[in-house]
Amino acid sequence: MTEAAPAAKENLLESNERRDDRRLAAGGGIATAIIGFGGMVIVGTVPAFEARRLLSSVLPTVRFAASAYVAGGATILALMLTLITFSISHDLDFRESHYQRVREIASLTTVVIVGSVILLMSLSFPLDQADVDPDWYLWVYYALLLGGAVTGGLFISIILMLFYAVHGLIGVGEDPDHSALVVAADD
């Protein structure tokens, strides 16, 4: 029982640490989305007749950001493959939580890429040139702001999750015997 207690304590410590990492990453993403959408609050409520003009000014920025998220997400997924190769080919046995963390990062990255591609596809239409009811521009304007803010917030969450994953791997490099990511010989 004395040998099982340190392993259980270590798993609990690792579980608490990962929960805190998730909370901080989610908090960073939510804060970023609020800041991104907070620009709308600064501009104030947009009347329908002005939404078309504002839409024209927002389109290039949202297009650039969505493209950056797609490129960044593709790079992150490629680096995740490298990380998995490192983890599998290394002499150490990594805990399941390490692979779960990588899986979470890859899943969220995929969501950001898909969301950004959908955003880019919607931006490929000349939205600011449509001959429709002015209220339509208002809805499109707010939808683009919301889409940009949400994808930006998700991307920041991914970056923070990567930071914590790298931080844990640095601990493996420094002292694998005391890292929470590595299965100890006595486990």
Specify if 185 maps to a domain. no
First to last CA, the chain: 12
Instruction: Indicate the pTM of the whole model.
Output: 0.82
Separation CA 185–CA 49 (nearest Å): 69
What lies within 8 Å, CB to CB, of 80 at 6+ separation is 102, 105, 106, 109
Specify if 112 maps to a domain. yes
* Res 5 pLDDT > 60: no
pLDDT for residue 109: 96
Specify if 186 maps to a domain. no
- Angle between helical axes of 48-89 and 134-174 (0-180°, round to 10): 20
The model's confidence at residue 138, banded by pLDDT at 50, 70 and 90, is confident
Kindly report which listed range (5-14, 81-90, 165-174) carries the lowest average pLDDT score: 5-14
DSSP state of 132: S
Extract the tokens encoding 22: 């998730």
Total residue length of the chain: 187
Residue type, 107: S
What lies within 8 Å, CB to CB, of 81 at 6+ separation is none
Higher pLDDT, 129 or 151: 151
Separation CA 173–CA 11 (nearest Å): 19
Range of the domain at 52: 4-178
Specify if 187 maps to a domain. no
What is the chain's mean pLDDT, rounded?
Answer: 83
Specify if 27 maps to a domain. yes
Extract the tokens encoding 147: 């889409």
How many independent structural domains does the chain possess?
1
At 19-55, the pLDDT tens digits run 888 899 999 999 999 988 887 767 667 777 777 788 8
Q: What is the DSSP string of 112-156?
A: HHHHHHHHHHHHTS-GGG--S-HHHHHHHHHHHHHHHHHHHHHHH
Specify if 137 maps to a domain. yes
Specify if 184 maps to a domain. no
Specify if 105 maps to a domain. yes
